[in-house]
Chain A
């Protein structure tokens, strides 16, 4: 029944599949981004306590959530890669790390720009902020480790092990606002209760979360294709593909 999955374990098929999926995620990411940003910046009502500064939430929360989602994806891929020795899983780890790192940076930076007017400081060494900073360092560590080996099989294995070690940070980030006293406010959406946010504010936030998710998938697919091309660059199908793309360029 699951035999059809087999052919996607082949790099060439996966490259094609990723290429077919990319336009859909591009369109979804663009539409939700435009709608979400305009809605969040101009149409959502101002917060009664925080005024218009709360509009930073529309990038801060999606970036932070998807930075963790990216890490979970990476961890699952790393596990699959280590246990079943599937090269494509290693490539997924390598493709996801830079996107996750950028999202984590965005979450940290927008958090600082929001903290300054609300808390009176860009940065405090409290549990949520520090664990998020550690997430950024873990991401950078994984990227650096992967690039440190010229043998990409070895690189994939090392990066996957580091990824699995770093998983311990995920629950710490999520529950940091519960376990410790912190300046950071508690969860708004991800809890077993009604979201503590007015609907007019919540809808654009959900749209932005979808946008960040779609863009995350898009960038993973793009970089995944890069990884495949890099590792298969000696294979005839890659040479054929590159030759065809040059022909297209010369004609166009």
Chain B
């Protein structure tokens, strides 16, 4: 262990601002990347669902016309 106490650890030998800033911003960037990737997947799923529904509507409409 390089530090004697927890408050020592937080202080980072006087460089706390820079060290924690670097780690926080990095973690935030990674989270943004993950959220962006997951949202993109969800968006594609929504588009496919819309496409399926539209095709089913068209099919249903065609069937009705056949009956008429």
Contact = CB atoms under 8 A, between A and B. Distances in A.
Given A42-B2, A239-B48, A109 B9 contact: no
Interface residues of A, number: 42
Interface in A208-236: 215, 219, 222-223, 225-226, 229-230, 233-234
Given A56-B18, A114-B22, A223 B47 contact: no
A225 B37 CA distance: 10
A230 B43 CA distance: 10
Contact of B19 (A53, A222, A223, A225): A53
B32 interface: yes
B41 A242 contact: no
Contacts of A92: none
Contacts of A239: 48, 51-52
Nearest to A113: B22
Interface string A98-139: 110010011001100110110000000000000000000000
B48 A59 contact: no
A56 B19 contact: yes
Interface residues of B, number: 31
Interface string B1-36: 111000001001111001101110110011011101
A20 interface: no
Contacts of A157: none
A42 B3 contact: yes
Given A59-B23, A98-B37, 16 more contacts: A41-B9, A42-B2, A43-B2, A46-B13, A55-B19, A56-B18, A59-B22, A102-B32, A105-B29, A106-B30, A109-B29, A113-B18, A222-B41, A229-B44, A233-B51, A239-B51
A210 B40 CA distance: 26
A222 B47 contact: no
Contact of A109 (B19, B25, B44, B48): B25
A60 interface: yes
B47 to A, nearest CB: 6
Nearest to B13: A52
The 10 closest A-B pairs by CB, nearest first: A52-B13, A53-B15, A113-B22, A110-B22, A52-B12, A51-B13, A242-B48, A56-B22, A102-B33, A106-B26
A243 interface: yes
A96 to B, nearest CB: 12
B49 A45 contact: no
Nearest to A116: B18
Contacts of B32: 102
Nearest to B15: A53
